[in-house]
Amino acid sequence: MMNDVELLTEDVPIACSLTADELVTRAEEIDDLFTGVQQTQELADGYALRFPGTSTWPQRVLDFIQGERSCCLFFTFELVFIPNQGPIWLHIRGPEGVKEIVRDTLTERGVALT
């Protein structure tokens, strides 16, 4: 497994390609997903979010990742599935500045940071 430093292999600008209207729709989708965050953990270069391990959550998290990969090319995503249908951990990482973006997004949506 790669460590935090090895994850970033190229410089990608920190910019979102969505229009203002698309950002409104995306914010609603993110709000809906983030209601399921059960716990957060600060990482060196981002945050880890714990979601329920029930049957609907893997697809919801994957849909979120796919949406973000198409507009915010600077994110690195990792998924960890805990055995025995345990929780799903989504790690959102990136270059300098990304951690603050994720933190602000979580805070704006009322997600408790630990």
Distance CA 92, CA 100 (A): 11
Distance CA 23, CA 86 (A): 32
DSSP 14: -
Distance CA 9, CA 112 (A): 31
CA 3 vs CA 9, 37, 44, 93: distances in Å: 12, 24, 10, 12
Question: What's the predicted TM-score (pTM) here?
Answer: 0.86
pLDDT by residue, tens only, the chain of 114 residues: 455 445 444 677 788 888 888 888 888 889 999 999 999 999 999 999 999 999 999 999 999 999 999 899 999 999 999 999 999 999 999 999 999 999 999 999 999 998
Give the list of residues 6+ apart from residue 97 with CB closer than 8 angstroms, or none.
14
CB 88 within 8 A of CB 54: no
Q: What amino acid occupies position 90?
A: L
Distance CA 62, CA 77 (A): 10
In sequence order, what E strands does 13-103 have?
A: 39-43, 46-51, 76-81, 88-93
